[in-house]
Amino acid sequence: MVTIYHLNNSRSERIVWLMEELDLPYELQTFQREPNMMAPQAYRDIHPLGHAPIIRDGETLMVESGAIIEYLLNRYGNGRLQPKTDSADFGRYLQWMHYAEGSAMSNLLLEYVGSMMKPEKSDQPGPLQMFHARNLEMVQALNDELGRFPYFAGAEFTAADIMMEFVFSFLERWRGEKLTAYPHAAAWLQRVHARPAYAKAMAVAGPKS
């Protein structure tokens, strides 16, 4: 059985949600962040890279949420939650699967961490202003994309939505932003949050669990 090492309020939510969508059994081990938000030593002892999520599946021990999702889908998904490789949605699916961590989270974290390290405000000139402006453009572009398609890959909900959902959760939870200026993104978030598997995952591994 797959073991998910979950760190509270973290990207490991993605993996719990995926397993619930696939209706697969898993063992959940939950760890609490230290006051400085880092993973505790017991978590770091599981894998030398020590970031959440971590999973174990037999001999396989993995970090990196996107890679874990691809692994679980390819091994246990039976074609679910990803478009067929010859479908028109496949390129978009791959793009958003990778964009979530490769660009979106990096862009947001640059601004978030930068704002904690420097007194500079994002409405003043400097790198923070640049990151802030870039992130506004990014969220607008994501909103526009969700005006073209109901889900990130196209007509169907896929694992790309699971990857991208954390980007918007980060905006709301950590930066306290409301998506009122982004109606397509807000409607999409409501749709994905209404999924029974999301509710189940959040009950055991959500921010309030």
Which positions touch ligand GSH (CB under 6 A)? 7, 10-11, 38-39, 50-53, 64-65, 101
| Cβ nearer to ligand GSH, comparing 60 with 140 | 60
User: Nearest approach, Cβ of 59 to ligand GSH (angstroms)?
Assistant: 20
Cα-flanking dihedrals φ and ψ of residue 54, to 5°? -125, 140
User: Nearest approach, Cβ of 153 to ligand GSH (angstroms)?
Assistant: 19
User: Token pair of 206, please?
Assistant: 């959500």
| Cβ nearer to ligand GSH, comparing 31 with 154 | 31
User: Nearest approach, Cβ of 7 to ligand GSH (angstroms)?
Assistant: 6
Please, are residues 111 and 131 in contact by the beta-carbon 8 Å criterion?
A: yes
| Residue corresponding to tokens 């862009």 | 107
| Cβ nearer to ligand GSH, comparing 50 with 114 | 50
User: Nearest approach, Cβ of 156 to ligand GSH (angstroms)?
Assistant: 23
Cα–Cα distance between 115 and 130 in angstroms, integer? 12
HEC per residue, 69-132: HHHHHHHHCCCCCCCCCCCCCHHHHHHHHHHHHHHHHHHHHHHHHHHHHCCCCCCCCCHHHHHH
| Cβ nearer to ligand GSH, comparing 51 with 200 | 51
